[in-house]
Structure 1
Amino acid sequence: MPAYICPQDGTRADTTALTWCCPACRGPWDLEFEAAGALSLNSLTGRVNSLWRYEEVLPLSSPTTTLGEGRTPLVPVTGTVSAKLDFLMPTLSFKDRGAVMLAELARRLSPERVVADSSGNAGTAVAAYCARASLPCTVYVPEGTSPKKTEQIRAHGAHLEIVPGDRETTAAAARAAADVPGTFYASHVFNPYFLHGTKTYVYELWEDLGGRLPDAVAVPVGNGTLLLGAALATAELHARGLIDRRPALIAVQAENVSPLAAAFRAGAEDLLPEDLLPEDLLPEDLLRDGPAGPVASTTLAEGIAIPRPPRARAILAAVRESGGTFLTVTEDQIRAAQLDLAARGFYVETTGVACWAAVGGWTDRSVVVPLCGAGLKTGLAG
């Protein structure tokens, strides 16, 4: 059986318990489990056309909550840059990869309720998969979340809690609710099952490219769930001899909310103390006055506007170990990238265009960018 393990102090817990964080340090769990068997390109022939085709390396199997997620197209955009169209997922974002794992786990545990927190896409995905699993679900979102996303959450039958304040305040409200007995916290940040869902992104790249990976994989990073999933997959593929080298992980943040990039450039292993942050990253500069108090501001890329990601140490380590780096993009670059992609036929939300803004002009090495959310979720940038 898989087991939860705290990467900070080694505390362990059974995955059948509704224990959403390490009780000693309140940090996120990692997952300890052994793959069920060998995986090869030949073994994939004739399998189900979803992410569940990689069953040997997943901590759950034989799902009933699936909506057919995964196996999104990989499309060349330039001579060296290809795009993975994860906005074609059932709920129109890559978050379906992890949300299906959380909902399937929750279904097996039969909690009294499921709670989640999100700036939008993870919430819509958890709401949809909980609906598929017939689980009662409450999703906490910060005020200012795209009305199109909150409409989608409600449409799936979830109860919506709009929290006055920023993304951090919203997470705190959800975690307080998660402490109520009988609650499953479907956290895309704290629960490692989510990361083992997002790692299928790289398994699909490996399969579509005939058993290899590009020189670099670029991903937008807020809480780092896609990047950490990619790091898991590249490590697993390399350990099994299925790739001879690991690609560089290129982490992209909005320049206006880039605490991880600041830490990386400072050579730090964790987030910088607030008094050492660059002036434009100080907490007071990440807020603006809203009708019910201060709310998050500063970037069009709302999905990665995370000032204090709980898995910061793991994200920084993964990028360094891969030989990758952090890049940041301005608001003008985000606007221009969204229009440029639309002119090429791809209508992508503002968070999802960040990687194209950062590496779309690369010509010296092959790189894949995720188009990870549909433009219909936010509309065109102002």
Structure 2
Amino acid sequence: EQTIWRYRKFFPHVEERVSLGEGWTPIIKGKDAYFKLDFLNPTGSFKDRGSSILLSTIAGRVRSRGYISEDSSGNAGASVAAYSAASGIRAKIYVPSTASGPKVEQIKAYGAELVRVEGGRNEVTAEAMAHEEGKFYVGHVYHPTYWDAMRTVAYEIAEQFNWRPPRYIFLPVSAGTLLLGTLRGFKHLLDSGEVDEVPFLVACQTKLISPLYHKLKGLTYSPPKVVKSIADALISPNPPLLNMMVEEMRGVGDAEIVEEEEIIEAHRELALQGLYVEPSSAVAYAAYKKWLGEGKVDGPSLVILTGMGLKVRWG
């Protein structure tokens, strides 16, 4: 089966299957690296992996009792809205007032109720978590079922490379669900004897919003008062999973930051290779190019492209 459900046995907590065909996204060889095209998931982002497993776990309990509440900068909200619609559950999605247009329209198209919240991510989360009769908060950052689903990224990469994955994997990081899930997936494969070693994961962030980079390197970090970047999906200045990311990354990975100009250039280069992604995805490629230029890459590399370019309006 060409979806994440080929790994069904690794998710015993699932109660019913809620699927739109997510996962098993292609890997292609670019001019200087491999690319995992996770923006080709049903709603245009990697978030569909988590939404599928999450809704499959809780749908039966929520459907008759109320509705789902989620806070998101756009991609997660669109994904949860889509899978809620597919499972016949009402959804209320809380987004920052600055959320980009196409993602907001996508959320509304799935029939979810959209709630715009002034302020930063903390304010959005607080509103989404506030008590209301029948509300079932499924915030993807806090729900282990959601980011546990990201193990499938590692499973797919390993299997698609005939169980000999590339030495380096570059991926954009904000809340950390993709990073933690991918890392744990590879550790599971290592413990199971399916792979000989865990690839070196490089967590990629913007220079403006880079809490993991600073924490991992023992540097002081002061979040900007106004959180704004061309990479609008990577705007978590104080991610709740930060300490967990740092703990699990030590010895098996590193972090890199890139300037806004580097993101724009990486986005252009990807498009000229036929890959139209959102700028947040281009952050990972920009970091890879930076490492390549500095001579830090000495083996095959893969860049995970997480979001579709049609989901943002910029330029």
**TM-based fold match above 0.5:** yes
Contact 1:101 1:193 in 2 (8 A): yes
Q: Is the 8 A contact 1:238 1:246 kept in 2?
A: yes
Name the amino acid aligned to 1:170: V
2:149 partner SS: helix
8 Å Cα contact 2:14/2:53 also seen in 1: no
Q: In structure 1, how many angstroms separate the alpha carbons of the residues matched to 2:7 and 2:116?
A: 36
Counterpart-to-counterpart distance in 2, 1:239 and 1:221:
25
Equivalent residue for 1:230? 182
Q: Which residue of 1 aligns with 2:8?
A: 55
Distance between the aligned counterparts of 1:321 and 1:228, measured in 2?
14
Alpha-carbon shift at residue 356 of structure 1 (Å): 0.3
- The answer to whether the 8 Å contact 1:106/1:184 transfers is no
Q: Is the 8 A contact 2:15 2:58 kept in 1?
A: no
Partner of 2:95: 141
Query: Given that residues 15 and 57 in structure 2 are in contact (C-alpha distance below 8 angstroms), is that contact kept between their aligned partners in structure 1?
Result: no
Matched, 1:154 2:108: yes
Instruction: Kindly state the Cα deviation for residue 60 of structure 1 after the two structures are TM-superposed.
Output: 4.0
The residue aligned with 1:122 is 76
Alignment of 1:72-151 (within 5 A): 72-79=25-32, 81-110=33-62, 111-151=65-105
Code of the residue aligned with 1:340 in structure 2: it is E
Question: Unpaired runs of 5+ in structure 2?
Answer: none
Which segment is superposed worse, 230-239 or 358-367?
358-367
Partner of 1:84, secondary structure, is strand
The amino acid of 1:377's aligned partner reads K
Q: Aligned-pair RMSD on alpha carbons?
A: 1.6
Give, as a single letter, the amino acid of the residue that structure 2 aligns with 1:77: G
Distance 1:249 1:181 in 2: 42
Report if aligned partners of 1:248, 1:319 keep a CA contact under 8 Å in 2: no
Q: Distance in 2 between matches of 1:318 and 1:181?
A: 37
Taking the aligned partners of 1:167 and 1:359, their CA distance within structure 2 comes to 28
Secondary structure at 2:140's aligned position in 1? coil
Whether the 8 Å contact between 1:251 and 1:319 is mirrored in structure 2 is no
Counterpart selection for 2:195 from 243, 261, 264: 243
Contact 1:64 1:133 in 2 (8 A): no
- 1:323-352 C-alpha deviation (Å, 9 max, x unpaired): x11100100001111111001100000111
Q: Deviations over 1:189-247 (max 9, x none)?
A: 00011112111011000110001221122111110010000111011101111111111
Q: Structure 2 length normalisation: TM-score?
A: 0.93
Q: What's the counterpart of residue 377 of structure 1? A: 311
Q: Is 1:305 the counterpart of 2:235 in the alignment?
A: yes
After TM superposition, give the deviation of residue 168 of structure 1 in Å: 2.0
> Number of residues paired by the alignment?
308
Distance, in Å, in 1 between the alignment partners of 2:75 and 2:59 is: 21
1:364 paired with 2:294, answer no
Q: CA offset at residue 181 of structure 1?
A: 5.3
* Deviation (angstroms), 1:106: 2.4
Match of 2:225 among 286, 290, 306: 286
Once the two structures are TM-superposed, the CA of residue 62 in structure 1 deviates from its matched residue by 7.1
The aligned residue for residue 214 of structure 2 is 262
Q: Distance in 1 between matches of 2:180 and 2:121?
A: 20
Q: Which residue of 1 is the match for residue 255 of structure 2?
A: 326
Contact 1:114–1:184 (Cα < 8 Å) also in 2: yes
Identity %: 36
CA distance in 2, matches of 1:91, 1:114: 18
Partner in structure 2 of residue 201 of structure 1 = 153
Shift of 1:182: 3.6
Q: Residue 108 of structure 1: CA displacement?
A: 2.1
**Of residues 162, 168, 171 in structure 2, which corresponds to 1:219?**
171
Aligned to 2:23: 70
SS in 1 for 2:17: coil
Separation in 2, partners of 1:310, 1:196: 16
Change (3 A) 1:373 1:312: same
What is the identity, as a one-letter code, of the residue corresponding to 1:309? P
CA distance in 1, matches of 2:166, 2:136: 37
Distance, in Å, in 1 between the alignment partners of 2:263 and 2:256 is: 13
SS in 2 for 1:360: helix
Say which one has the larger Rg. Answer: 1
CA distance in 2, matches of 1:195, 1:374: 20
Runs (5+) with no aligned partner, structure 1: 1-47, 268-275, 288-295
1:336 alignment partner, SS class: helix
CA contact (8 A) 1:67 1:90 kept: yes
| Letter paired with 1:160 | L
For 1:196 and 1:334, how far apart are their aligned partners in 2? Answer: 28
Query: Contact 2:14–2:56 at 8 Å: present in 1 too?
Result: no
CA distance in 1, matches of 2:180, 2:61: 25
Mapped contact 1:213–1:247 kept (Cα < 8 A): yes
Runs ≥4 in structure 1, deviation > 3 angstroms? 59-64, 179-182
**Paired letter, 2:114:** L
Amino acid of the structure 2 residue aligned with 1:69: E
